[in-house]
Amino acid sequence: MTVELDRQGSHNGYVEGLPGYRDDAPLLEVEDLQVEFHTRDGVARAVNGVDFSLRAGETLAVVGESGSGKSVTAQAIMGILEEPPARVAGGEIRFRGVDLLKLSAERRRRIRANHVAMVFQDALSALNPVWTVGFQLGELFRKHRGMSRKDARRRAVELLDMVRIPAAAQRVDEYPHQFSGGMRQRVMIAMALALDPEVLIADEPTTALDVTVQAQIMRLLSDIQAERHMGLILITHDLGVVADVADDITVMYAGRAVEQANVRDTFASPAHPYTKALLRSIPRLDVKGQRLEVIAGLPPVLTDIPPGCAFAPRCGYAQDVCRTERPPLSTVTAGRSAACHFASEVMTDDVN
């Protein structure tokens, strides 16, 4: 099924009029983003200077274990962090040159769903249980496009149809709990795509689903992305999915990007020990009867990140310098960067 690009009038038409807008600027750039949470136990630095950029039509995978700052980065881009306790302490998030962090709350709100949209994990809790799916989809058209209830409902049916939900016209009046897990996630995707955003952030979109459904949802996402030439940020810890659909990868650890590269290069020869350890911990079909590889130790407590490299305590390559001096994210080879003092050794060292 093909999806018709529905760019009514002058495109989505909001961000164009904002200060800093340039048509030729990169779609989304995150520069030195810092987010901290003010808790009773002190300040937790969830994101400590993350940089990346996203081009139209590109899929960027953001990978890392729980608490590495992936979801917080995504929520900071969306502007839906709970503030307080969260606070964006520094950095820039530029959408086509417009620094989103400098916009007023009202302007920020209008960017959401119109230009940058998000698919959450676990659609059952992410959809409101007391409103019909049609209402929750139609709301976007009514509130952002000023459509009548009737037109909004018609558009909701079209959307459900687009995400390949059978009998969309009947199902539009049903409630989220009446859908199966996979269908619910399709609704979630339809909701994010409703206003035809240029950037889609998918935060572990397949985590709550079983494997066959996961594949269908990923297929749907990448099909739509290709058709619409969207920028897709895929947050996941499923490296199999990353290998399948992503172009570039950003590996995060303790709130920092530790490796950024093309997916193929990273998988072939990781330049950071953490990436390497992650790849090793994927269960393999050809190695049976052995214990799964794990990364020994735990990530640091975010209120008390040690000086030096945050991964050093768990790292086999660690030397004294790692415990005192934090390695910056720097270029290893063309188009590849890693935050490790021994990046080139890690890359060439053929331990796996």
Binding of another protein at residue 101 (CB under 8 A)? no
Q: Which of 37, 52, 95, 120 binds another protein (CB under 8 A)?
A: 120
Dist CA 346 CA 88 (whole Å): 33
Residues 6+ apart with CB under 8 A from 267: 243, 279
Interaction residues for another protein, span 125-184 (CB under 8 A): 125-132, 139-140, 143-144, 175, 177-178
Query: What DSSP letter does each residue of 277-317 carry, written as one string?
Result: HHHHTS--SSS-SSPPP---S-PPPTTSPPSS-TTGGG-TT
Binding of another protein at residue 87 (CB under 8 A)? no
315 φ/ψ angles, rounded to the nearest 5 degrees: -105, 135
Binding of another protein at residue 118 (CB under 8 A)? yes
Binding of another protein at residue 110 (CB under 8 A)? yes
Residue with tokens 């099909």: 223
Count of residues that bind another protein according to CB under 8 A: 32
Residue 277 burial (CB count, 10 A): 19
Binding of another protein at residue 78 (CB under 8 A)? yes
Interaction residues for another protein, span 49-68 (CB under 8 A): none
Interacting stretch for another protein, rule CB under 8 A, among 15-23, 186-194, 237-245, 333-341? Answer: 186-194
Supply the minimum distance, in Å, between the C-beta of residue 267 and another protein.
31
CB neighbour class for 289 (10 Å; exposed up to 12, middle 13-18, buried from 19)? exposed
Output 139 or 247, the one with its CB closest to another protein: 139
Binding of another protein at residue 95 (CB under 8 A)? no
Output 144 or 323, the one with its CB closest to another protein: 144
Output 125 or 148, the one with its CB closest to another protein: 125
Binding of another protein at residue 113 (CB under 8 A)? yes
Binding of another protein at residue 11 (CB under 8 A)? no
Interacting stretch for another protein, rule CB under 8 A, among 103-111, 233-241, 298-306, 322-330? Answer: 103-111
* Alpha-carbon distances, residue 12 vs 135, 145, 266 (angstroms): 21, 10, 36
Please check whether residue 70 is in contact with residue 47, taking contact to mean a CB–CB distance below 8 angstroms. no
Dist CA 185 CA 41 (whole Å): 36
Amino acid 7 reads R
Measured between its terminal Cα atoms, the distance across the chain in Å is 42
Output 200 or 239, the one with its CB closest to another protein: 200
Supply the minimum distance, in Å, between the C-beta of residue 129 and another protein.
6
Output 174 or 238, the one with its CB closest to another protein: 174
Vertex 18, ends 13 and 21: CA angle to 5°? 90
Q: Which of 109, 145, 154, 237 binds another protein (CB under 8 A)?
A: 109
Query: What residues pair up with 30 in beta bridges, in sequence order?
Result: 52, 93
Output 114 or 337, the one with its CB closest to another protein: 114
Binding interface with another protein (CB under 8 A): 75, 78, 80, 82, 109-114, 117-118, 120, 122, 125-132, 139-140, 143-144, 175, 177-178, 188, 191-192
